[in-house]
Amino acid sequence: MASKADPWDKYYKKDKTTVNIIEKINKLYFSVVFEHYFKQYTPKIKDTKILEAACGSGLMSSRLSKQGADTYLLDFSAYALKDAGKNFKNNKQMFLGTKADIMKMPFNDNTFDIVWNQGVIEHFDKPEKVVKEMMRITKKGGVLIIFIPAYLSPLHIIYNILLTTKTINLWPFDKQKFFKTKELRDIAKDLGYSKFVARRLPRTLGLSSALILKK
């Protein structure tokens, strides 16, 4: 999902039992919840040009495409794009995927109505640079939506236990950060945006927060 492809290639190639369980939970619950929140901040889906930047398996994007969105996906992991392509095929949708670095996306300024992702910026040392690049390709009047792991969530506690006990190798993903709502507000303000929402998302069982920026 990020510019360092290896950890995510390993994730998608690793023990398929672990990956399949995570993806099944995502399909049945979390991607549905994220779609609910996504639609709160998007005026419409049909005929809207949407990019999922660092798409992973692209579950939600495949459903948005089925609802009439003009949907594009980008990821640095070829294995992620392969899984995303399967999900689009399962939903009988055209898959438009690009293998590229989220820090240097091959799109012109002001290209997409909506740019979004879930579980991405927490893997970067300077997440504000990712947000800035995502905003670059968002149209004026468009929306950027980012779903992020929340500070002091159940997963954050588990992550800290694994760090403390030196068993972080059991964590299925790459190293990451968990964000306070204030930190999300600070990212928006530091980039010069006044039209934004930073909030925790109750329906994610306390696991996630969101940063929504209007360009």
pLDDT tens per residue, range 76-116: 999 899 999 999 999 999 999 999 999 999 999 999 999 99
Helix (H) or strand (E) holding 145: strand 138-149
Number of domains forming the structure of the chain: 1
CATH number, position 32:
3.40.50.150
Q: H-type helices in 56-120, by residue range?
A: 59-66, 78-90
pLDDT in tens, 166-193: 999 888 888 899 999 999 999 999 999 9
Quick one: pLDDT at residue 50? 98
Q: What's the whole-number mean pLDDT along residues 26-30?
A: 90
Domain hosting 60: range is: 5-214
Helices H / strands E in the chain, number of each: 8, 7
CA distances from 161 to 110, 158, 165 (A): 42, 5, 6
Query: What are the backbone dihedrals phi and psi of residue 32, each rounded to the nearest 5 degrees, phi first?
Result: -70, -40
Torsion of CA 97, 101, 103, 105, to 10 degrees: -40
What pLDDT, on a 0 to 100 scale, did the predictor assign at position 1? 41
pTM for this prediction: 0.91
Highest mean pLDDT among 12-16, 28-32, 77-81, 146-150: 146-150
